[in-house]
Amino acid sequence: MIITSEAIVISSLKYGDSHLIVHLYTEASGLRSYLIRGVLKSKKGRMRASLFQPLTILDIVASHKDKGNLERLREAKIGMPYKTIHTDFIKNSIVFFIAEIIKNSVKEEESNPSLFNYIKTSLTWLDVHHEVANFHVTFTVKLTQYLGFYPDTSTKKTEYFNLMTGNFQDTYESGHTRRGEAIEAFKLFLGTNFDDCNRIKLTRAMRNEILEVMLLYFELHLHGFKKPKSLQVLNEIFK
């Protein structure tokens, strides 16, 4: 089956001397993996390795056999050129973190237009704004809406957050119950959009603590989720 779709690059891996295995999140077919032969040595081919930087938005034409194997990518071109994401060190570090989050949490090989549009819209916002210190926290919190475990905010005024159930409560219940400054700051991100998130003033330590809580939350709700390796770099960037 031939599909034409927008796609977001999640990751790429060198295979052999000249090939790439590329993981794309496609609007038409969800997460797909492609073997692109000879792209690392090709000088005249229609596809270049530079197309497959993390979270690049592409327009693709692909052949899918839907047998769980590597698919064939026939054409790929930039769908939305970035102005700053791949040249700004801070934004590029955020991109690597977000790409790992997506890779470790999104597994479905089926269309999910709302999730695809959320990721695309988020990247568009990141590309054109300068104040981005809280972007990755906001992105991670909002992503849980599309993955099915967004916290229940009906009792948000209570003291404790239960990471296992996703509920706020007024009593300590288990080792996965948290309270304190980080939880109070975390509450501020619930229902907050990207335009407003930088009004939330955080120290680097507090931002890092919120991220640690969120990543544990992901681990508890997503089988096989792994903490991003890029987290340490990201934690050192923002003061």
Q: Report pLDDT digits (tens) over 122-170.
A: 999 999 999 999 999 999 999 999 999 999 999 999 999 999 999 999 9
What is the pLDDT, as a whole number, of residue 141? 97
Placement of tokens 């906001």 in the chain: 138
pLDDT of residue 77: 95
Entry pTM? 0.94
Q: What residue ranges of the chain have pLDDT lower than 70?
A: 42-45, 239
CA angle 146, 150, 156 (to 5 degrees): 155
Distance CA 212, CA 29 (A): 31
Structure tokens at 187: 């509450």
Longest CA–CA span in the chain (Å) reads 65
Amino acid identity for residue 98 in this structure: I
Q: Note the pLDDT of residue 45.
A: 65
Given this model, what pLDDT does residue 239 score? 62
Tell me, what amino acid is at 47? Answer: M
Closest CA to 135 of 165, 92, 170, 173: 92
CA 4 – CA 26 distance, rounded (Å): 9
Nearest to 151 by CA among 53, 225, 220: 220
Structure-block tokens of residue 138: 């906001």
Taking the C-alpha atoms of residue 164 and residue 61, their distance in angstroms, rounded to an integer, is 41
Q: Which domains does the chain have, with CATH numbers?
A: 2-78 (2.40.50.140), 89-237 (1.20.1440.120)
